[in-house]
Amino acid sequence: MTKKQISQTNVTNQNEVGKSSIWGGRFSSGPSQLLQNINASIGYDQRLYQQDIAGSRAHATMLAHCGIISEEDLMAINQGLAQIAKEIEAGDLKFSLELEDIHMNIEARLAEIIGEPARKLHTARSRNDQVATDFKMWVRMLLENLDRALAELQAALIAQAEAHVDTLMPGYTHLQTAQPVTFGFHLMAYVEMIGRDRSRFADAHRRLNESPLGAAAIAGTSFPIDRQMTAKLLGFDRPAANAMDAVSDRDFALDFLTGAAICSMHMSRLAEEIVIWSSDRFGFVKLSDAYTTGSSIMPQKRNPDAAELVRAKPGRIVGSLNGLLIVLKGLPLAYSKDMQEDKEGVFDAADALGIAIAVMTGMVTDMQPNPENMRAALTNGWPTATDLADYLVRELKIPFRDAHHISGSIVALAAKQGVDLDAVPLADMQAIEPLITEEVVEILKVDNAVAARQSFGGTAPSEVSAQIAAAKKRFHIG
Ligand code: ARG
């Protein structure tokens, strides 16, 4: 849907404070302008138009199949709905605030086009099951799109990881040099996180996929409808088992928002690493011009604005999750108008997460790692101190706590001498621990330290290659 279509500008307010044509039967005067303004959701729920039309088609097909409306009525309804879809697509349908929401706007337009049969469409249906069905289908489509987008991001990360299976860099804990790792290994950590994000969305999809249609307002209907049929026509696994539940829960939206909050947190962490890696001090990666902005005053600047904005997105996404939890908390069954407030946060979170994933994919694909700078960073922080301690345990049978202490003393010496661990003279090490032999020198080299970490899931290039191969299979990449 285009920007134009989703903006408020295509909503007209006739400012007629007349009786509602939808539910005005028992009223003697119309709603105030203020009520119309607070009541209407058409400004944003027009994003559901495709789902609303699909839901109405399925409902009408079922009504005809069950003999509740005629085949002629069904044909007229289908033709009218097809025309409306085209009108909305072209931006030609003016939505009206007085008609409240997308459901009533479409139904009213249908009546304009086909007359009488349109007035039969709402038989055995309520806006309560209608909106729950539409919104579920919209979220379902969203989950499917997100899965594809996340798979693309995984593919981008894997492509970089494959090119840097043996590119060494410091691994950090507390953002202090910890142990040498490979850049490919580091990137593969995110492939795993994103794999779990995808599985959370897949869970949400599986739980969501029960059709509310036919639950009607709250209690089902006395018409002989076929809920199995509409469920099947709309791609649901089955009809939701309890009509009251079907119209009154929005936990499917919360499932999406929870997954989105976690996923956006992962995006945010990767974004922050890219901010750090692309800084002057680190210089581990260079971002492409396509994902870098300049400064209006400092000509030398290449700012990672895109990464920073991805870093910020959890603010609004977690906000939407909190917002909907608070809207729903304490609501008695079944439908209350509060539930209309379920949509904007979901739409906003969907947009925010969608652009964050797309931007990360572009940034990761384009970024140019700088292996020289990564290796140079390994000369700070004595990243093989653990290997020294492990050597003392493995070869000299020294208990690990004692080995840790000895290794620490040798690090202190290296710091005093201003050298890497593998450059501390053997005699100086032996002065601290006489049993140390010259084989230690090889062990203290960063390449050997990385190559030695062959435990399952470890950072050795051989292991990272195996991780990549396995991840491609598990996540169905390339
Ligand atoms: N626009 C409403 C919503 O989003 C549709 C359902 C209205 N139902 C009702 N009984 N007022 O929730």
Distance 336 CA to ligand 1 centre (A): 8
Nearest CA to 236 among 213, 258, 255? 213
If residue 132 lies in a helix (H) or strand (E), which one and from where to where? helix 127-163
- What integer pLDDT is reported at residue 23 of this predicted model? 74
Lowest mean pLDDT among 65-74, 227-236, 267-276, 291-300: 291-300
| Smallest CA separation from ligand 1 atom 1, residue | 101
Residue 96 beta carbon below 6 angstroms from any ligand 1 atom: no
pLDDT range class, residue 110, cuts 50, 70, 90: very high
DSSP state, residue 241: S
- Of the candidates 199, 295, 336, 409, the residue annotated as catalytic is 295
420-440 per-position pLDDT tens digit: 999 999 999 999 999 999 999
Distance 264 CA to ligand 1 centre (A): 30
Say yes or no to pLDDT of 1 above 50.
Answer: no
Distance 259 CA to ligand 1 centre (A): 26
295 included as an active-site residue = yes
Look-up of token digits 């032996």: 430
- Of the candidates 174, 222, 296, 455, the residue annotated as catalytic is 174
Q: Residue 369, Cβ neighbours under 10 Å: how many?
A: 19
Say yes or no to pLDDT of 5 above 50.
Answer: no
305-335 per-position pLDDT tens digit: 999 999 999 999 999 999 999 999 999 999 9
Q: Tell me the residue type at 437.
A: T
* CA within 13 Å, CB half, 76: 19
Provide the terminal-to-terminal Cα distance of the chain, rounded to the nearest Å: 30
Strand ranges inside 246-310, DSSP E:
285-286
Q: Is 88 helix (H, G, I), strand (E, B) or coil?
A: helix
Enter the tokens of residue 33: 């302008």
Burial 181-202 (b: 16+ CB within 10 A, else e): bbbbbbbbbbbbbbbebbebbe
205-264 per-position pLDDT tens digit: 999 999 999 999 999 999 999 999 999 999 999 999 999 999 999 999 999 999 999 999
- Give, for ligand 1, the residue of 35, 127, 250 to mutate: max count of ligand atoms closer than 8 Å to Cβ: 127
Q: Tell me the residue type at 9.
A: T
Q: Packing angle between helix 251-277 and helix 343-366, nearest 10 degrees?
A: 30
Average pLDDT of the segment spanning 392-403 = 96
Cα radius of gyration rounded to whole Å, the chain: 30
- State if pTM tops 0.75: yes
Residue 339 beta carbon below 6 angstroms from any ligand 1 atom: yes
Residue 156 preceded by cis peptide, ω within 30: no
431 within 8 A of 413, measured Cβ to Cβ: no
- Alpha-carbon distance of 14 to 4, in angstroms, equals 20
For CA atoms 324, 328, 334, 336, give the dihedral sign: negative
pLDDT range class, residue 3, cuts 50, 70, 90: very low
Calculate the average pLDDT of the chain: 95
- Alpha-carbon distance of 180 to 191, in angstroms, equals 20
